[in-house]
Amino acid sequence: MLTLLDAFDDLPWARSLREHTYQALGDTVVDVGCGSGRAVGELAARGVTAIGIDLDPAMIEVAVERWPAAEFHVADATALPLDDGSVTGYRADKVLHTLAEPDRAVAEARRVLARNGRAVLAGQDWDTFVIDSDDPELTRRLVHARADGMASPRVARRYRNLLLDNGFVDVTVEVHTIVWTDLTGIPVLATLGEGAWLEAQAARARDDRLFVAVPIILAAGTRAA
């Protein structure tokens, strides 16, 4: 999994989107669901006081090893080890879909943010993988089965309302669609299915006929006074 995450994070569009999420976060930022700490390290390199939070101790071990100068904690997104109003920026990238109650995490974001602090939520809606296939019915079942394995697979389409419901203002929403047309998309498809279906997609990639699109939803808002 870490190898796949690293390869994903190294793609040019992933780097560009990550940079976009850093805008206007201020000088003290918490990155919730930080994984191996890439965003925390990049923010720290900009002179930001960056704090990484992840529930997986193994990921935090990797993050500490890779970014020893940064601050990391093992903690739940709904119970951050931070004081009220202690950060200027909150970032949650590809994490809220893992939570049974993502609204509690957004309420926690409001608690830890200072007045006029900025929250950024980013991630895919797991029901909206767009895949060209000779067997669309099977492909639809595979996509939905993968989504059904998530705690909150469709939370990304709720980002705007979650922010509004928790007292955020000036809320904006963007959609950035990621497209794969070559073999770099096969590891993504391997998380959905295997066997003959996956081999058929790999054959498409080898013949320059692969098409996979995944919309990434990004919502941001300001903590009201």
Q: In the chain, how many domains are there? A: 1
Is residue 18 scored above 90 in pLDDT? yes
Q: Is residue 144 part of a domain?
A: no
pLDDT bucket at 10, cuts 50 / 70 / 90: confident
Give tens-digit pLDDT for 110-164.
999 999 999 999 999 999 999 999 999 999 999 999 999 999 999 999 999 999 9
Q: Is residue 193 part of a domain?
A: no
Mean pLDDT of the chain: 95
Greatest Cα pair distance in the chain: 56
Q: Is 13 within a domain?
A: yes
> Is 77 contained in some domain?
yes
Supply the range of the domain harboring residue 162.
2-125+151-177+216-223
CATH number of the domain where residue 161 is located: 3.40.50.150
What whole-number percentage of the chain has pLDDT above 70?
Answer: 97
- Give the type of residue at 178: I
For residue 164, the one-letter residue type is: L
* 155 domain-assigned: yes
What does the pLDDT average to over 1-18? 77
Q: Render pLDDT for 181-222 as a digit per residue (tens, 0 to 9).
A: 999 999 999 999 999 999 999 999 999 999 999 999 999 999
pLDDT at 1: 66
Q: In this structure, is residue 187 part of a structural domain?
A: no
Q: CA 222 to CA 105: how far, in whole Å? A: 16
